[in-house]
Amino acid sequence: MVFREENSRRVGEVGALSEISGERSEIGRDEGTQPSPAPKTEALGMKTENLSAYYDSFKAVSDVDMQIRPNKVTALIGPSGCGKSTFLRCLNRMHEVIPNAYAKGCVKLGDQDIYAKYTDPVTIRRRIGMVFQKPNPFSKSIYENVAWGARINGYKGDMDELVERSLKRAALWDEVKDKLKKSGFDLSGGQQQRLVIARTLAVEPEVILMDEPASALDPVSTQKIEDTMAELKERYTVVIVTHNMQQAARISDYTGFFYIENMGDPGRLWEFDETTKIFSTPDRKETEDYVTGRFG
Amino acid sequence: MATKSGTQKNTRNGGSEGEAVFKSSVSARHALDRVFAVLVFVAAMIGLVVLAVLLVDIGRDGLPRLSWDFLASFPSVSPQNSGIYPALLGSLWLLGLTALLSVPLGVGAATYLEEYAPDNWLTRLIEVNISNLAGVPSIIYGLLGLGIFVNLLGAITGGQSIVSGALTLSLLILPVIIIATREALRTIPGAVREGGYALGATRWEVIRSHLLPMALPGALTGTILALSRAIGETAPLIVVGAATYITFAPDSPLSAYSALPIQIYSWVSQPQPAFQVAAAAGIVVLMVVLLLTNSVAIWLRNKYQRRG
Amino acid sequence: MPRETFQRELDLLVEEVVELGRQVESCLDTMVEALQAQDAEIAKRQIGVDSRYKERGAEIDEECMVLQARQAPVARDLRLIYTVQAVTNHLVRAGTLCEHICHAIVDTEGADHDPDLADTLSEMARAGRNLFGEGLNIFEQHDIDRARDLEAADDKVDLLYSEAMNLIVNPGKEGGGSPEWRTRAALMVHYLERIADHGVDIGGRTVFLVTGERMESAMRQYRERRVESDED
């Protein structure tokens, strides 16, 4: 573990490789040039208990209990405005970045409650990364895009190697390895999105959240992103919000269906199960109506 | 002559035979289109033509008078020997100091208002007041400067000194810089900030690495405008004590000084026509300084825009 | 109503399947009549009818494939298409078996019949036809409560099957009819038992369509619940 972490420690089931941050970097320092850390394979899962999200006084999401299993892809589906994106943003404390927005309840990363009183949201956001709907690379070079996050988090290893590794894991390396100094905006939409994924990977998160990552992309780029997601779950836990039901059915292991009963109600988790069940024999009528497109 | 268009038998839109569904005269619409194209062109040209006439007039009078002597001499009672040296130097000093004072303050204030300030009544009050301050006549700033910088803080500023002048001008142009920087920050999409936060960055890290560099072109444009205004300000400088006749070159921020517009004003007020010519030459020098300042700033802006 | 076109296509598909089922049912009616009256003329009418069933079945299969390609069905739509294909298969098979039986009746025209065995055959044919018809009704109406009774009805057919097999192996005092007839009778008995099974399976598929569960686990739950209520 090569990042300095002020307030949070990795607790819970993690695998033999990483303990408290200080130890590993110590080892590296003695050896001279830091060797690249062995790729970790076991990520942490997450769990929400009674999670509710508010915009000022308006309750957008109500009392969600969800188990997000490690090294699996969990898809969140549901009609527009039912709180899936809001819920997702609560998972890495991005929701509270919006003025007057807050969340109540418990969200656990492994065994640690990320909303606990003295937990630093900045550290949480490094460990739980997010990819947004519209690709938003920084107006910097491709190299800098990937390196910046790692740098400000105090990465002490070989930056070139980290950039290459991250771009490879995002399936973008081959396409950009000769033009790392070019601007991030010189890439196509699909490539930009993979660049965003690469920079998220560069800070070595445990969990990757994706908010409709392919909805602004063409089908070929979408397919590439989906293939990347299938590989990502080897190392990370992935949660994705999507409007594309075939996509949810294709790539996810678990699916959660969010629903609002009446206008003005908060969104609730209506059903949560293995994806094969949700798309073959869902338990609840509203879930079935939604996945068969009979909503409305 | 109206041409009937859209006439069909049994039109789909429910018209019966012979009845046109759409407005008939296309040529009239095209004619109106052309008329407006001409009108807006004329509007643009009027401004340019007036400016050109002005410049030509000034140049015809002033350019012959320009020489190294003119630039290197001090003003004197004899128009032939008068030069613009101390005024030029004074303006450059003022420019430098004002930029040094106002830019950090302006950018800092804009950053606070746009990125840190909560959306409450106090913030909105500040915003409204800044907009108002941008419109306050410059002589008021002069009076403010006189009261505070020259008199109250005279011990520190040296009274009627370059520092007092620069401070006054800084106050004058601060609102413009703040507004321009705020607008530049506002045009940066929220997605950039979100992208930064999502990587575990603090607010300052996002501002420093992404927002300020991206806002730089817009902020520079505003600063250019503001500094250009500052160079040409006469009234407030007179009030804070810029000299109209000075025989030495300013050597420190605390010394007395003159400035280009003041010198020009002073010459224009003299009866001798030779002084009018000197004034014209002075205006040319002022224009050149303005152009140079603008060019540097535009070059800076383009440099940062290309990088982004 | 979202996906109105798709819903109409699905409804049409089900109608076509039921239509095919009714055709097979009427074939079964004719077969029962022929067996009861021991009249080969009646049976002759159904010779070759199975080719029409097979053709229809293939058409329905293709429609299912096209729907899957175009509409990407999930959940109950997917279960419906899956069920339609299975039920169509059962219908075509049952129709083919019915035709085979009619063929056998025509072939053994004039041969010596064992009256007991003939009666048993008749009864079995009636039971099989009723079971098939019931399965088809259950499919048409999605009425899975009635599906539970199909198993009981099938038990009755199985009983008749044992009886008939017994009569074939141990012919009675009257000699049991000519050997050709007895051989054909054995085949007919087998076919009738299969037709009854098809009926049960159609009911079972409908249970899956509606509940997403296999008939066996649904039956198991049903029996468990019955045991509980018995113990009260």
Closest Cα to residue B61, out of B267, B286, B279? Answer: B279
Nearest CA in chain A to B195: A136
Mean pLDDT of chain C: 89
- The lowest-confidence range among B102-111, C87-96, C169-178 is C169-178
Q: Distance, in angstroms, between C75 CA and closest chain A CA?
A: 4
Which residues on C lie below 8 Å from A279 (Cβ)?
74-75, 78
Which chain A residues have a beta carbon less than 8 Å from that of B205? Answer: 152
Residue B307's pLDDT is 57
Q: With cut-offs at 50, 70 and 90, classify the pLDDT of residue A257.
A: very high
With a cut of 60, say whether residue A40 has pLDDT above it: no
- Return the minimum-mean-pLDDT range out of A67-71, B153-157, C94-98, C183-187: B153-157
**Which pLDDT score is estimated for B6?**
46
**pLDDT given at position A10:** 37
Residue type, B84: I
A272–chain C nearest CA distance, Å: 15
Asked whether the beta carbons of residue A281 and residue C77 sit closer than 8 angstroms, the reply is no
Mean pLDDT of the B65-79 span: 84
A125 at interface of B, judged by CB pairs closer than 8 A:
yes
**Minimum-distance CB partner of A126 among B199, B209, B213:** B199
User: What is the rounded average pLDDT of the residues A159-182?
Assistant: 94
CB–CB contact B308 A132 (8 Å): no
Q: What is the pLDDT of residue A18?
A: 36
**Residue-level pLDDT at A41:** 62
pLDDT of residue B24: 74
pLDDT tens track for A56-73: 999 999 999 999 999 999
CA distance A9 to A15: 14
Residue C42 to residues C30, C35, C121, Cα–Cα distance (Å): 7, 9, 16
Does an interface of 3+ CB pairs under 8 Å exist between B and C?
no
% of chain B surpassing 70 pLDDT: 93
User: Residue A251: CB partners within 8 Å, gap ≥ 6?
Assistant: A73, A75, A226, A229, A230, A240
Task: Indicate the SS3 state at residue A141.
Answer: strand
Strands A46-55 and A58-68: antiparallel
Task: Please provide the distance, in angstroms rounded to a whole number, between the alpha carbons at the two ends of chain C.
Answer: 47
Q: Are B136 and B186 in contact (CB under 8 A)?
A: no
Q: Supply A12's token pair.
A: 């819970």
Q: One-letter amino acid identity for C130?
A: N
Q: Look at residue C219 in the predicted model and tell me its pLDDT.
A: 63
Whether residue A21 is predicted with pLDDT greater than 70 in this model: the reply is no
Average pLDDT, chain A: 86
B192: left (phi over 0), alpha (psi -120 to 50) or beta: alpha
CA B73/CA B83 separation, integer angstroms: 4
Lowest mean pLDDT among A169-183, B58-72, C6-20: B58-72
What is d(CA A168, CA B224) in angstroms, rounded to the nearest whole number?
44
Nearest residue in B to A184, CA atom: B308
Quote the CA–CA distance of C167 and C121 in Å, as a whole number: 11
For residues B275-303, b (16+ Cβ closer than 10 Å) or e, as one string? bbbbbbbbbbbbbebbeebeeebeeebee
Would you place residue C158 in the very low, low, confident or very high pLDDT band (cuts 50, 70, 90)? very high
Q: Which residues of C touch A281 (CB under 8 A)?
A: 75, 79, 211-213
- pLDDT of A275 reads 95
Residue C84 sits at φ, ψ, to 5 deg, of: -55, -45
Q: What is the mean pLDDT of chain B?
A: 87
The answer on pLDDT for A7 being more than 60 is no
Question: Looking at chain A from residue 207 to 246, which residues have their Cβ under 8 Å from any Cβ of chain B?
Answer: none
Residue B148, token pair as written in the block: 């505070």
Position C171: which residue type? P
Residue A4 dihedral angles phi and psi, to the nearest 5°: -80, 135
Q: Considering CB atoms only, which of A280, A294, A295 is closest to C78? A: A280
Share of chain A above pLDDT 90, in %: 73
Is 90 exceeded by the pLDDT of residue A107?
yes
Q: Which residue has the tokens 């929701």?
A: A95
Neighbors of chain A with 3 or more C-beta pairs under 8 Å: B, C
Minimum CA–CA partner of B204 in chain A: A152
pLDDT for position A110: 92
Residue C221: band (very low, low, confident or very high) from pLDDT cuts 50, 70, 90:
low
Residue B170 confidence (pLDDT): 94
* Torsion sign across C-alpha atoms A184, A187, A192, A196: negative
Flag whether pLDDT at A112 surpasses 90.
Answer: yes
Which residues does residue A258 pair with via DSSP β-bridges, in sequence order?
A269
Amino acid (1-letter code) at residue B155? A
Does A30 score more than 70 pLDDT?
no
Whether C71 and C7 have beta carbons less than 8 Å apart is answered as no
pLDDT, tens digit, for every residue of C28-73?
999 999 999 988 899 998 999 999 999 999 999 999 999 999 999 9
Instruction: Identify whether the C-beta of residue A198 lies closer than 8 Å to the C-beta of residue A210.
Output: no
Cβ neighbours of C73 in A, within 8 Å: 292
Element (H, E) at B139: helix B138-145
pLDDT at A17: 36
* C71–chain A nearest CA distance, Å: 10
| Strand duo A73-77 + A237-241: pairing | parallel
Q: State the pairing for strand pair A128-131/A237-241.
A: unpaired
Which residues in B lie closer than 8 A to residue A92 (C-beta atoms)? 198
Question: Which pLDDT belongs to residue A240?
Answer: 97
pLDDT, tens digit (0-9, with 9 covering 90-100), for A78-90: 998 899 999 999 9
Q: What distance in Å separates the CA atoms of residue A1 and residue A180, rounded to the nearest whole number? A: 26
The answer to whether the beta carbons of residues A276 and C59 sit under 8 Å apart is no
Task: Tell me the mean pLDDT in the region C139-155.
Answer: 90
Phi and psi at residue C5, in whole multiples of 5°?
A: -60, -45
- Strands A254-259 and A58-68: what pairing? unpaired
The stretches of chain A forming alpha helices (DSSP H) are 21-30, 84-91, 121-127, 142-152, 159-169, 173-176, 189-202, 219-232, 245-251, 275-280, 285-291
